[in-house]
Every structure is written in structure tokens, then in C-alpha cells.
Amino acid sequence: MYDLLKGLRVVEGAAFVAAPTCGLYLAQMGAEVIRFDAIGGGPDFRRWPLAENGSSLYWEGLNKGKKSVALDLASPAGREIAQRLATAPGSDAGLFVTNFPVDGFLAYETLRRLRDDLICVRVMGWADGAQGMDYTINAALGLPQMTGPADDPRPVNHVLAAWDLLTGAYCAFGLVSALLARMRDGRGREIRAPLSDIAAATMANLGFTAETLAAGHQRPRIGNDVFGAFGRDFMTRDGQTLMLLAITPRQWSKALEALGLTAEVAAVEAELGVSFATDEGLRFTHRARLYPLFERAFAQRTAAELGAAFDAGGVTWGAYQSLEAALEDPRLYKGNPLFQEVRHPSGLSYPAPGAMATVPQDRRSDVRPAPRLGQHTDEVLADVLGMSAGEIARLHDDGVVAS
């Protein structure tokens, strides 16, 4: 938690990964982020993984540091409260993050009637408004056919919802950018971020589409080989798998030194009449010639020996390890100052991270857990919408809100 965005009030009406991570990043940089949740929870409130008591570890991970107002979103009165929250006054408010449909009761033009300078960041599936999620859009981009062992043609889905995550962070960027613009010109804006556009643009930004246009077909499946450079997984004498990578000349020469392959590779270069040192693409082109040398060098040494030699030599490498091993790894989790032991709504206590970046000039404040559903209903209705205790009590009685 940092306070870079202190004073901002963001309202979030969102489920699944992309929009809630947007709100999470904003909250952990100091914004007040108020979620409205369906009474009993929205469509991702029971999403796996679950704690033994049925609480969602996923939901409580994605909603840390936010406030929760529980509303009957099926009722006109509940929907009106959601609209009023999203558009409540204040120069540092009027900031709304959602993945609700573009044309529903949270449509921009509807909300704009309540607050003309509203900034609304809207995560969408397909750009035309059709249902689309990370998995279905990823399938349409050729990536599952490019992923996985070259000797197996089955498409491989990614386990990490990469498009959701990229979209969430890009939306956080979009929201603060639109706020800067509003501070300058006073205008509200809707920032529509369809996963399909973010994915299509990214495949172009990385050169995949230009490559495909030039070749007439997408990049072939090459297993764990790093495209256009030297990199792959190799197995050590003791059966460990290590990832080795050499893109820059320095990464390449260091890897050869550490593996004792400098002379052997020089002989290959002489034989082929090429220089691998300064052209990583040649290492890729001739990788079938190079791999046996590396496979042998790895097979002669243990992971411990190689790791020590690689670290001493400044080689870019990594061991494949399980997440349970990662949790003991001081480079990732053990003692990492991003993480703090926190008691979560599930009732469990376990380490959770704050802001993903570190600001050495600022103090990192405590990691805040996710709210209980409706934990802040009364507080928010009073503070943000100025409701009296009587009004709030009536809404409870009518089942419009819960806490």
C-alpha cells in the first residue's frame, strides 16, 4: 500500500479478473475503492480455489483493500444506488470501473445523465459486446497452437489468464490517464477495454501479426525454445530442469563460459562460417546443432553445481520449481517485503501482497484484506450518498441493501 492516489474515490462494479485487478491496483496505490456487490455475492464470489469453509481464496485475493456495499442489483432501487455511487460528486470521484454490459443499467450514457464528467473504465469481452472471456479469446489468436511440445499437436491453453491481467493493468493506466485529461479539460470519458482488442493489439505490438502476414502462416510450434534467440529447458545430471536464456552477446558468452562450451561452440562457428556472439538469431537458426552440446554439458553437472557456476558467471537462467518451492524462495516469497501475514474474510491468515511495485522513497503501509460482503454498506451510504440512519434502515428492511 502506497498513497500515490490518496484522495481518489473509485467505485467498482465488477467480477472475474480484469476489472477487479484494476480496482486492486488502484486501491493498493492509495485510492479509496468501493465495490458494490450483489447481496450474497456476484458471479465470481464462489470461484475456486476455495478455503475449506467454502470461501473463495480467489475473490479475497482480488479484492484486497477495497470496501464492499451489498446491493440487490436485480431491483430498481438497488440499481439506482449503484448508479448514484458510480456518479457521486467530488473532484477526485466520478471514477467507475466495471465489466457490466455496455448497454445495461450501467451504460455510460445513462450514468452520464447523473454526472457529466464521469470517467468509466469498462472491461469487455469482444469489442462488439459479445460474450468473451480470456480462454475463448485466447483460442482465437493462434497461441494455443504455438504453445507446448513440438511433437504434440494438441492446442495448449495458458493457465495464467494473461489477457485478463494485461487488461486490468491497462485499465488502471487508462483510468488515471483519463483523470489527468479531465483535470485539464473537465470532460468525462468512457474507456472501453475489450479483451479482444487488447489481445489483437498486443499480438501486433510484439510482431506476431507482421510475421504472420509476411510468412503467410503463424509461427510454428517450437516447444520451450525461445524464438529467435538461444533459450530452452535443459536437464541436469540429477534430473532437475533448468531454463537457460541468452539473447544479448553478454548473456551468450557468459553461458558458454559457465558451461565450459566456449571452445566447442567456436568450432561449430568455424565449421558453419557464422558468429553466434553478436547475432542471437543465428543461435536460433542453428539450435539443432547447438542443443546437443548444451544437453551434454547440463547432463554432466548437478543443478547445484550449475546454479553456483551460473550465478558466479552472471548467466541468465532459472530453475523450474513448484509453487510450494517458490513459497520458500526468498527471491519470491519468503521475507519479501511486499507480503504481510493478513487475516482474510475466509478466516484464514496467510501472507498477501500489497502494491506490486516498490517506491524506495515512500513507506509501504500495511496490506489490507478484502472486505466481507457488505462490510461497508452503512458507512458508504452515509458518507458517499449522505443517507440518514433512517433511510439506510429502511433500505435494509426492504432488502435493497445488506451488510
Name the residues annotated as catalytic.
164
Q: Give the one residue of 107, 114, 165, 385 binding a copy of itself; rule: CB under 8 A.
A: 165
Output the smallest distance, CB 403 to a copy of itself, in A: 23
Helix (H) or strand (E) holding 194: strand 189-194
Q: Using CB under 8 A, which of the segments 67-75, 79-87, 156-164, 392-400 binds a copy of itself? A: 156-164
Kindly state whether residue 41 participates in binding a copy of itself, applying the rule CB under 8 A: no
Kindly state whether residue 313 participates in binding a copy of itself, applying the rule CB under 8 A: no
Per CB under 8 A, contacts with a copy of itself among 253-312 are 279-281, 284, 311
Q: Give the one residue of 77, 140, 308, 389 binding a copy of itself; rule: CB under 8 A.
A: 140
Of 254, 260, 264, 259, nearest in space to 289 by CA: 264
Complex with a copy of itself: residue 52 or 271, whichever CB lies closer: 52
CA distance 22 to 121: 9
Q: Give the one residue of 270, 272, 308, 357 binding a copy of itself; rule: CB under 8 A.
A: 357
Q: Give the one residue of 80, 155, 257, 382 binding a copy of itself; rule: CB under 8 A.
A: 155
Q: Using CB under 8 A, which of the segments 61-69, 80-88, 297-305, 391-399 binds a copy of itself? A: 61-69
Per CB under 8 A, contacts with a copy of itself among 218-247 are 218-219, 224, 226-229, 231, 233, 241-243, 245, 247
Place of cell 476489472: 19
Complex with a copy of itself: residue 180 or 263, whichever CB lies closer: 180
Per CB under 8 A, contacts with a copy of itself among 65-94 are none
Query: How many residues in the shown chain lie near a copy of itself by CB under 8 A?
Result: 159
Q: Using CB under 8 A, which of the segments 75-83, 129-137, 268-276, 294-302 binds a copy of itself? A: 129-137
Of 103, 105, 72, 60, nearest in space to 86 by CA: 105
Contact predicate 195/19, CB 8 Å: no
Contact predicate 235/241, CB 8 Å: yes
CA distance 129 to 76: 23
Kindly state whether residue 53 participates in binding a copy of itself, applying the rule CB under 8 A: no
Place of cell 480470456: 134
Kindly state whether residue 137 participates in binding a copy of itself, applying the rule CB under 8 A: yes
Q: Give the one residue of 130, 299, 308, 389 binding a copy of itself; rule: CB under 8 A.
A: 130
Q: With H, G, I as helix, E, B as strand and everything else as coil, classify residue 341.
A: strand
CA distance 286 to 217: 22
Contacts of the segment 40-49: beta carbons below 8 A, 24+ positions apart: 40/70, 40/373, 41/373, 42/15, 43/15, 43/16, 44/15, 44/16, 44/20, 45/373, 47/16
Complex with a copy of itself: residue 155 or 264, whichever CB lies closer: 155
Complex with a copy of itself: residue 43 or 273, whichever CB lies closer: 43
Q: Give the start-end residues of each E strand in 238-319.
A: 241-246, 316-319
DSSP state of 372: P
Alpha carbon 338 to its chain's center: 16
Complex with a copy of itself: residue 13 or 387, whichever CB lies closer: 13
Complex with a copy of itself: residue 32 or 280, whichever CB lies closer: 280
Q: With H, G, I as helix, E, B as strand and everything else as coil, classify residue 327.
A: coil
Q: Using CB under 8 A, which of the segments 14-22, 77-85, 255-263, 393-401 binds a copy of itself? A: 14-22
Q: Give the one residue of 76, 90, 207, 347 binding a copy of itself; rule: CB under 8 A.
A: 207
DSSP state of 80: H
17's CB contacts (< 8 A; 6+ apart) are 62, 134, 161, 164, 165, 168
Q: Using CB under 8 A, which of the segments 82-90, 121-129, 266-274, 380-388 binds a copy of itself? A: 121-129
Kindly state whether residue 365 participates in binding a copy of itself, applying the rule CB under 8 A: no
Per CB under 8 A, contacts with a copy of itself among 315-334 are 315-327, 329, 331-333
Q: C-alpha distances in angstroms, 83 versus 49, 88, 280? A: 31, 8, 55
CB atoms within 10 A of CB 377: 25
Q: Give the one residue of 18, 73, 97, 172 binding a copy of itself; rule: CB under 8 A.
A: 172
Q: Using CB under 8 A, which of the segments 93-101, 289-297, 347-355, 379-387 binds a copy of itself? A: 347-355
CA distance 339 to 373: 24
